């Protein structure tokens, strides 16, 4: 069972972290998150680690589920770049 962090204990999720959540929900790896957001994979992992801590979940793949349970919002936007084709690696 996922034990969610309460909103009172955590800082709010930033717009950038919201973008990371959408990409994780879309199935993107840290490398792909980095490519789409113009950041390094290491920075993408740092965002993921911060989100795991904020949301109180042990695994990266639980981030979108915890976000939805905590906020009631769908982590995947209906339209937008998160659902577009994945960028090609160089």
- Structure confidence at residue 11 as a pLDDT band (50, 70, 90): confident
Interatomic CA distance for residues 39 and 82, integer angstroms: 15
- Structure confidence at residue 9 as a pLDDT band (50, 70, 90): low
Interatomic CA distance for residues 51 and 45, integer angstroms: 10
Look at residues 60, 50, 58, 66 and name the one whose alpha carbon lies nearest to residue 30.
60
Question: What pLDDT shows up at residue 37?
Answer: 95
Contact 81, 36 (CB under 8 A): yes
- Structure confidence at residue 35 as a pLDDT band (50, 70, 90): very high
Here the tokens at position 10 are 């955590």
Contact 76, 22 (CB under 8 A): yes
| pLDDT tens-digit map of 62-72 | 999 999 999 99
């Amino acid at each position: 069972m996922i034990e969610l962090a309460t909103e009172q204990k955590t800082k709010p999720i930033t717009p950038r972290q919201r973008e990371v959540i959408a990409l994780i929900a879309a199935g993107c790896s840290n490398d792909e998150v980095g490519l789409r957001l113009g950041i390094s994979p290491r920075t993408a992992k740092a965002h993921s680690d911060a989100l795991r801590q904020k949301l109180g979940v042990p695994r990266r793949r639980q981030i979108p589920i915890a976000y939805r349970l905590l906020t009631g919002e769908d982590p995947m936007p209906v339209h937008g770049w998160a659902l577009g084709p994945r960028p090609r690696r160089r």
